[in-house]
Chain A
Amino acid sequence: MNADNRRLDLILAGAVLCLLVLPWYKIRSGFFGFGWIGDMLARPDLWPGAFQAAAGRWQLWPVLLLVAAVAGLRLTAPSGAARGRWLVRLGVLGLAWLVVEGLSVGTRGWNWGLLERLLGEVAGQPAFGAGAVMLGLFFACLISFGAAERGALKGDAFVLTAIVLLILLVAVFVFYPILSIFTGAFQDFDGSFTAQGVRRNIGDPKIWSLSCLTGGGPCGVAWRTLFLALCTASATTVLGLAFALVATRTRFPFKRGLRLLTVLPIITPPFVVGLALTMLLGRSGTLTQLIEAATGLELGRWLYGLTGIWLAQVLSFTPIAFLVLIGVVEGVSPAMEEASQTLRAGRWRTFRKVSLPLMAPGLANAFLIGFIESMADFGNPLVLGGSGGVLSTEIFFSVVGAQNDPSRAAVLAAVLLFFTLSAFLAQRLWLSGRSFATVGGKGDGGRHALLPARVAAPVIGLVALWSLFTVIVYAMILFGGFVKLWGLDHTLTLDHYIRAFGISLDGGLRWTGVAWNSFWTTMTIALIAAPLTAGVGLLTGWLIARQRFPGKAAFEFALMMSFAIPGTVIGISYIMAFNLPPIQMTGTALILVACFVFRNMPVGVRGGVAAMAQLDTSLDEASLTLGANSGRTLRRVILPLLRPAILAALVYSFVRAITSISAVIFLVSAKYNMATAYIVGLVENGQYGVAIAYSSVLIVVMVAVIGIFQLLVGERRLRRPAASEAAA
């Protein structure tokens, strides 16, 4: 029996088993509670697919027919191109049918009036459950196995299955939700089509008004958001470049300290900087009081609004720009600069004519990241926005507030998406044909030229000032948790920590603190999401870097584009897509995990692609010619060599799952509340002390967990330690 038949038998047996045993529909109490096993016979809604079909749900008959057809094909046809072609067709049909019947029949019967008139009434059905999901996977596998039998990608079933499953996952968790936003915009509360909401919102002067230019009142929220994003991106890029230049091209004595700054934004929950700014510069802030006492001026509420948000965002995102630009600045080959100097160019001319133009693509990249981060930022505007919000907070309030206007949220989300995607596409267009990768495989001798003195002095000054500001802000965060009432009563106290993280020992260990519940949920979900994100991201990176398949460029582009989708848009799209059958996940932990995995995946992909580029392809090829299949090659050769990239992806996705707020705030529920959402709640209630205490604990925990990950994944051993090398 050959491998083609063996794997086909395996999934066929699995499909039949699922049809006979697993509940087809979603279980309200949750699949992994396993309470459903006992009730299965008594309650028809728990029946597996085959019984549902027998009980008169005719929309499942095609599924059974298709599985039977595959079984027939397996028994009558030998493996080969002809059977492969049929398997692909059956798989596509199966998936298509699941989509059609899932979208057409909702909980109360037909979703579309037209179908009801055509086909008569139909019994409503709940969302897809374990059985339906497994059958979906079965059909996906049919496509890849069929393609393998036809000899696609040298008949590599593993790679084909990975590709098909990834495309399926990205379609379900990225594109379907985004599409739902647009359909959501055109739906009334009962699901029927209406363009009224869109018409009302699209011309709303609150969004599009330009009257601030003429001096007649505030501008629309769309313009304000755009203006803020441009300002933030410019400022972070300039500051980031200054930091990068200081770190690499001056004799500045605290370079290592500067590099530590790059870790900060990764482990800081996004609204924390906003909080600290309030404590420093708010109406009763420390600095405000100092200045008012010294000058007698009334500073007032200047911090609340775009200025404050801008300041907080620049503080939050400058380190990210630094992180991007330090690689760029180091990447300019010293040989180029040395060549320029031997051609009689002075340091200033070399910097202006050679170094800076070579860095231009990197600067554009840093600008884009700053732009998107600012657009997507939710925490800082929420804390500092005051009366005038930005798009992301407007979206939030149009869903949760008294307005409850989904079509407004959808329109605003579409506007936000339009801005970020345009920026992304514009950058891509500008970059094409402008990539000056100057680091070759060969060892590049030489040293970077120091900055010319007239640039160095102001740059160092700027960096020192800004670093000082950052340090003060973070000191505030740590300190703020220990005082009674910021700005009014500065007595030291542990009250906030006790309130958040109190433990009572009488009558056994009891977690009495208010934060424990969301804290453990956050940790659990982050720990589940991190390995999944790293796995999916690196697998995708491997496919992109090492496999050639049709549509690869489009696939890669779509993935990278999902990086430009702001978290708020993801959040809103997830509730719109996954609140009703066929896929119902709102209020579960699963939706949070899915959100984190697909939101953070692009970073894993980039990391994977970059790391893979350093591994010579001949290593994979050697493994293949030695008889290992792609799966074994990945496991035994690629993964062990990718350990640093795995660590980075794990840490990043773990930390992002803990710190992110924009998407999460839409998806949390009473049962599964996340730390950030809980903290935002505290801030809204004015409990700043507890919020600050909780945030500091999160930061400390994240640092600890990063250390543990580092130990777990370990080093990759390519050389012995220096001692034994000397002995040898």
Chain B
Amino acid sequence: MTSERGAVEFRAVRKNYGGFTAVPHLDLKIAPGQLVTLLGPSGCGKTTTLRMLAGLETPSAGAILIGGQDVTRLPANRRDVTMVFQSYALFPHMSVIDNIAYGLESGGMKPAASRLAAGQGLELVGLSGLGDRLPSELSGGQQQRVAVARALVLEPQVLLLDEPLSNLDARLRRRVRTEIRELQQRLGFTAVYVTHDQDEALAVSDRIVVMKDGRIAQDGTPRELYEAPASEFIADFIGEANVVDCEVLGLAEDQALVVVGGARLTLPSRGIRPGPARLAVRPNAFRVEPGNGEEGDGGLEGRVASAAYQGDRIEYEIDGPAGRLFVIDGRSSVPLGVGSPVRLQFRGGGVALIA
């Protein structure tokens, strides 16, 4: 599969800067036509990984393959990848159309042909007619789309996007990320997308690679990551999660019987042995019921520590034997008073055993 056009492979890649190791050991394969997000907090090595793929950094060890070809030592200008920069990096002294034609002309295309192709690129991102403007005369969102068009007209095997939305306001961000995803699906290119915003990652990706300290912390589809986080770090980084102590009573095939408070749950065991364990519980995994202060079956007892009315939902902090829990109730519209007893029932889903 890795010899196909658009396939990417990192083999045992390491990157040091002087004495500092940014990426200690990275093995990663990306299938053609997928949009893969590298997600992680700042300093986790995701941008270094992207720049190594672009050819802007040379790995200290290991190999990088694009479309089956070893490109480890190939300079950036001879790799069949293009990049959309966080700052867009539009050349401020060239018009929009010249910016888009720049890469085509670097590849030896005649000016007339390249301008024609650049015009088509501009049309692709819906900016026809703005070709003669200078980048400084465009809005942020338009500049961003020019940057995408400039990278796409070269029809690269892989498109790299380095936090492409971080300079846009929240509303625009949502729209542009949809556009990028649509373009990627329509044209079918491979894309590697770096972001630290988990919402963005969940929305656009076929696959998310979460990185921490230069290593892959977890790798899977957005749903897998959300519903079955491998660790407390992932659980907390992708959506919010309460980490609750529990007890694994026994295993049946790959299912575990788990007791937490007064509730009994059957969950995928994920290699966890009987004994004390921990659960990652999403805030919306509960049904909130007024409690009577007694330990009943099938739920957690607690008291409301705070309640915040948010319009479409109510956010509670609830103190109980398991510590303070963050709970979202999306069904009732009248908040319970602070101090009143509640019972939290598991609704099914949104709960996973973590290591």
User: Which residues on A are within 8 Å of B, measured CB to CB?
Assistant: 151, 154-156, 616, 618-619, 621-629, 632, 636-637, 640-641, 716-720, 725, 728
Given contacts A155-B73, A155-B75, A628-B106, contact A621 B85 (CB under 8 A): yes
Residues of B within 8 A of A718 (CB): 92-93, 134, 136
Residue on B with the closest CB to A728?
B137
State the 3 A-B residue pairs at the shortest beta-carbon distance, nearest first: A626-B103, A622-B89, A618-B89
Given contacts A154-B76, A718-B136, A720-B134, contact A627 B107 (CB under 8 A): yes
- The CA-CA distance from A626 to B81 in the complex, in Å, is 8
Residues of A within 8 A of B79 (CB): 625
Closest Cβ of chain B: how far from A400's Cβ, in Å? 51
Given contacts A716-B93, A718-B134, A718-B136, contact A624 B86 (CB under 8 A): no
Residues of A within 8 A of B93 (CB): 640-641, 716-718
B269 contacts partner chain A, Cβ-Cβ < 8 Å: no
- Stretch from B53-61, B169-177, B208-216 at the A interface: B53-61
- The CA-CA distance from A725 to B82 in the complex, in Å, is 32
Q: A621 contacts which of B58, B89, B106, B151 (Cβ < 8 Å)? A: B89
Cβ–Cβ contact A616 & B87, under 8 A: yes
- The CA-CA distance from A585 to B175 in the complex, in Å, is 68
Residues of A within 8 A of B107 (CB): 627
- The CA-CA distance from A641 to B136 in the complex, in Å, is 14
Residues of A within 8 A of B75 (CB): 154-156, 624, 629
Residues of B within 8 A of A640 (CB): 93
Residues of A within 8 A of B151 (CB): 625-626
Cβ–Cβ contact A625 & B102, under 8 A: no
Residue on A with the closest CB to B74?
A155
- The CA-CA distance from A622 to B91 in the complex, in Å, is 9
B77 contacts partner chain A, Cβ-Cβ < 8 Å: yes
Residues of B within 8 A of A616 (CB): 87, 89
User: Which residues on B are within 8 Å of A, measured CB to CB?
Assistant: 54-56, 58, 73-79, 81-83, 85-87, 89-93, 102-103, 106-107, 134, 136-137, 150-151, 154, 160
Cβ–Cβ contact B55 & A618, under 8 A: no
- The CA-CA distance from A728 to B78 in the complex, in Å, is 39
Cβ–Cβ contact B82 & A625, under 8 A: yes
- The CA-CA distance from A626 to B114 in the complex, in Å, is 13
Residues of A within 8 A of B81 (CB): 625
Cβ–Cβ contact A626 & B55, under 8 A: no
* Further 4 A-B residue pairs, CB within 8 A, beyond A154-B55, A622-B89, A625-B83: A618-B85, A621-B83, A628-B77, A718-B134
Residues of B within 8 A of A717 (CB): 93, 134
Given contacts A154-B73, A616-B87, A619-B89, contact A632 B106 (CB under 8 A): yes
Residue on B with the closest CB to A81?
B73
Please list 9 pairs of residues, one from A and one from B, whose beta carbons are closer than 8 Å in the complex, sorted by A's number: A154-B58, A156-B75, A618-B87, A619-B89, A624-B77, A626-B103, A628-B102, A628-B103, A629-B75
Q: A626 contacts which of B87, B92, B106, B134 (Cβ < 8 Å)? A: B106
- The CA-CA distance from A718 to B135 in the complex, in Å, is 8
Cβ–Cβ contact A626 & B73, under 8 A: no
Cβ–Cβ contact B137 & A627, under 8 A: no
Closest Cβ of chain A: how far from B48's Cβ, in Å? 13
Given contacts A637-B91, A640-B93, contact A625 B136 (CB under 8 A): no
Cβ–Cβ contact B92 & A641, under 8 A: yes
- The CA-CA distance from A21 to B91 in the complex, in Å, is 45
- The CA-CA distance from A39 to B77 in the complex, in Å, is 49
- The CA-CA distance from A618 to B102 in the complex, in Å, is 15
- The CA-CA distance from A623 to B89 in the complex, in Å, is 9
Q: Looking at B74, B81, B89, B134, which has the most chain A CB atoms within 10 Å of its CB?
A: B89
Cβ–Cβ contact A626 & B154, under 8 A: yes
- The CA-CA distance from A724 to B90 in the complex, in Å, is 21
Closest Cβ of chain A: how far from B13's Cβ, in Å? 15
Residue on B with the closest CB to A628?
B106
Residues of A within 8 A of B73 (CB): 151, 154-155
Q: B77 contacts which of A619, A627, A641, A728 (Cβ < 8 Å)? A: A627
Q: A624 contacts which of B58, B76, B87 (Cβ < 8 Å)? A: B76
Residue on B with the closest CB to A641?
B93
Residues of B within 8 A of A728 (CB): 137
Q: Looking at A151, A155, A156, A627, which has the most chain B CB atoms within 10 Å of its CB?
A: A627
Cβ–Cβ contact B136 & A719, under 8 A: yes
Cβ–Cβ contact B77 & A720, under 8 A: no
Cβ–Cβ contact B136 & A622, under 8 A: no
Cβ–Cβ contact A627 & B154, under 8 A: yes
- The CA-CA distance from A151 to B54 in the complex, in Å, is 16
Residue on B with the closest CB to A159?
B75
Residues of B within 8 A of A155 (CB): 73-75
Residues of A within 8 A of B160 (CB): 625
Q: B76 contacts which of A618, A625, A632, A725 (Cβ < 8 Å)? A: A625
- The CA-CA distance from A719 to B93 in the complex, in Å, is 8
Residues of B within 8 A of A618 (CB): 85-87, 89
Cβ–Cβ contact A625 & B56, under 8 A: yes
Given contacts A156-B75, A641-B92, A720-B137, contact A625 B87 (CB under 8 A): no
Residues of B within 8 A of A625 (CB): 54-56, 76-77, 79, 81-83, 151, 160
Cβ–Cβ contact A629 & B77, under 8 A: yes
Residues of B within 8 A of A636 (CB): 91, 102
Q: Looking at A621, A625, A636, which has the most chain B CB atoms within 10 Å of its CB?
A: A625
- The CA-CA distance from A640 to B98 in the complex, in Å, is 14
- The CA-CA distance from A183 to B55 in the complex, in Å, is 48
Cβ–Cβ contact A627 & B103, under 8 A: yes
Residues of B within 8 A of A156 (CB): 75
Residues of B within 8 A of A151 (CB): 58, 73
Residues of B within 8 A of A623 (CB): 91, 102, 106
Closest Cβ of chain A: how far from B156's Cβ, in Å? 9
Residues of B within 8 A of A720 (CB): 134, 137
Residues of A within 8 A of B77 (CB): 624-629
- The CA-CA distance from A241 to B316 in the complex, in Å, is 63
Residue on A with the closest CB to B153?
A626
Residue on A with the closest CB to B58?
A154
- The CA-CA distance from A637 to B99 in the complex, in Å, is 10
Residue on A with the closest CB to B87?
A618
- The CA-CA distance from A662 to B137 in the complex, in Å, is 51
Q: Looking at A626, A628, A725, which has the most chain B CB atoms within 10 Å of its CB?
A: A626
Closest Cβ of chain A: how far from B129's Cβ, in Å? 13
Residue on B with the closest CB to A148?
B75
- The CA-CA distance from A637 to B103 in the complex, in Å, is 12
Residue on B with the closest CB to A636?
B102
- The CA-CA distance from A717 to B93 in the complex, in Å, is 6
Residue on A with the closest CB to B82?
A625
Residues of B within 8 A of A716 (CB): 93
Closest Cβ of chain B: how far from A154's Cβ, in Å? 4
Closest Cβ of chain A: how far from B327's Cβ, in Å? 40
- The CA-CA distance from A548 to B194 in the complex, in Å, is 25
Residue on A with the closest CB to B156?
A625
Residue on B with the closest CB to A637?
B91
Given contacts A717-B93, A718-B92, A719-B134, contact A626 B56 (CB under 8 A): no
Cβ–Cβ contact B91 & A624, under 8 A: no
- The CA-CA distance from A618 to B154 in the complex, in Å, is 18
Closest Cβ of chain A: how far from B15's Cβ, in Å? 14
Cβ–Cβ contact B55 & A624, under 8 A: yes
Residue on B with the closest CB to A150?
B73
- The CA-CA distance from A627 to B156 in the complex, in Å, is 11
Q: B102 contacts which of A621, A626, A641 (Cβ < 8 Å)? A: A626
Closest Cβ of chain A: how far from B100's Cβ, in Å? 10
Closest Cβ of chain A: how far from B12's Cβ, in Å? 18
Residues of B within 8 A of A641 (CB): 91-93
Residues of A within 8 A of B86 (CB): 618
Q: Looking at A156, A621, A717, which has the most chain B CB atoms within 10 Å of its CB?
A: A621
- The CA-CA distance from A46 to B103 in the complex, in Å, is 49
- The CA-CA distance from A632 to B77 in the complex, in Å, is 11
- The CA-CA distance from A155 to B76 in the complex, in Å, is 10
Closest Cβ of chain B: how far from A718's Cβ, in Å? 5
Closest Cβ of chain B: how far from A386's Cβ, in Å? 56
Residues of A within 8 A of B82 (CB): 625-626
Q: Looking at B73, B74, B77, B79, which has the most chain A CB atoms within 10 Å of its CB?
A: B77
